[in-house]
Amino acid sequence: MLPFSRPRYGLSITANTLCWVEVSSGIRKSGIHRIEEHPLPSGLIHPSPLAPNVAKVDELAKIFKTSLPQRKHPCSIAVSLPDLCARTLVFELAQLPASSRERDALLRWKFKQDCHLHADQIRVTSQRYTPSRVPAPHTHQAHQPVHLLATALSHAVVEPYEQACLAAGLIPMTVGIASFLVFDFCRPVMIQAMATLKQDHTRGYHLVFFYVADWGCTTVIIHDNVPVFVRIKPLRPVPLSCSSSTGSPSPAISANSLDPEESNKYIARLTNELIATLQYYFELHQSLDQFIHPLPLFLAGSLDPATIFPQVKQRVETAFTDESRNAPRIQAIPLQAGLPYLSGKIGADPTCWTGTTLAALASTRITP
């Protein structure tokens, strides 16, 4: 293992956009020094969980070299890829093997059985979640079930990205999936918000996390601190004009401007997808319609959060006031509004951060 510290640079790659951030972290001070977004050539990246995504590795490496600051030596970097690049599973196990080798073998077997992936051709990662409610001692349960959220990246998918990084003098220390990185990044804000919301604790709390990027959207439903449902949906991006930010040390964040003629159609597709996903889950769990208090729906990412999320919030909340849906009411909460400015910030408004920007920040593990 090379003696690199935690990456200062975060790199988020989608089919249309490259975003990189430079951060610092320490005991007393964490900050964002620079954020830049750059458009990528059409056809260079094709997100897929099975086939190679990068049409020309050398061209992507050249873009990395010209987009990131000049460096005398290789530097470590954290990479975020679209959710469409991976397969994702949420499942419950009676018991998790103690050996890391046995755990890895079990996860590979699960992906082979459920997703028809070759066990020796994937890179598997997982995160364990513990329910917020612990059963009473009189239940006499020797072992509590183990809840996992796991992802599998094909070697054929991830290695070309890593090759492009290495050719540009970047050492990819971690490669993660955008929505799950952002979920962990925003978790402190969600926990703080949940503490102020009224919840029916006798049923265990539910929340919905909805992440949007230019490749599509991901819905994650949490019950008692455990992911119980994940749906990843590709959506055709709307035409947009992307401006990259430059300057040092405090450039302005880049902005994505939606084409006005397509914006309403895109918002309608996005909202309809979210409503259909929620309705499907509620039909599987019909007791949720008896909730007294609204179900919190946290919105993160987007191409233009300040424009899109207010409309998504209004449409979704209105849709679930209809009692004929047999579903709980919804309280939508845009997450970017709750992200505090970080010390050493570049003077940027988090409400303008796109899904790609959030993923790049989240990949560095900086604390919001």
- Tell me: cis bond preceding 160? Omega within 30 of 0 counts: no
Question: Would you say residue 346 has pLDDT above 70?
Answer: no
The pLDDT score that the predictor gives to residue 252 is 33
| pLDDT tens figures, 78-99 | 999 999 999 999 988 888 888 9
| pLDDT tens figures, 161-216 | 999 999 999 999 999 999 999 999 998 889 888 888 866 555 567 899 999 999 99
Report yes or no: 46 and 150 within 8 Å, Cβ to Cβ: no
Mean of pLDDT over the chain:
84
- Can you name the CATH fold of 9-363? Nucleotidyltransferase; domain 5 (3.30.420)
**Among 19, 50, 102, CA closest to 352:** 19
Across the range 129-148, mean pLDDT stands at 68
pTM score, whole prediction: 0.88
CA distances to 10, 34, 363 from 6, rounded to whole Å, are 10, 17, 11
Which region among 27-31, 129-133, 279-283, 324-328 has the lowest average model confidence (pLDDT)? 27-31
Question: Would you say residue 305 has pLDDT above 80?
Answer: yes
| Domain positions in the chain | 9-363
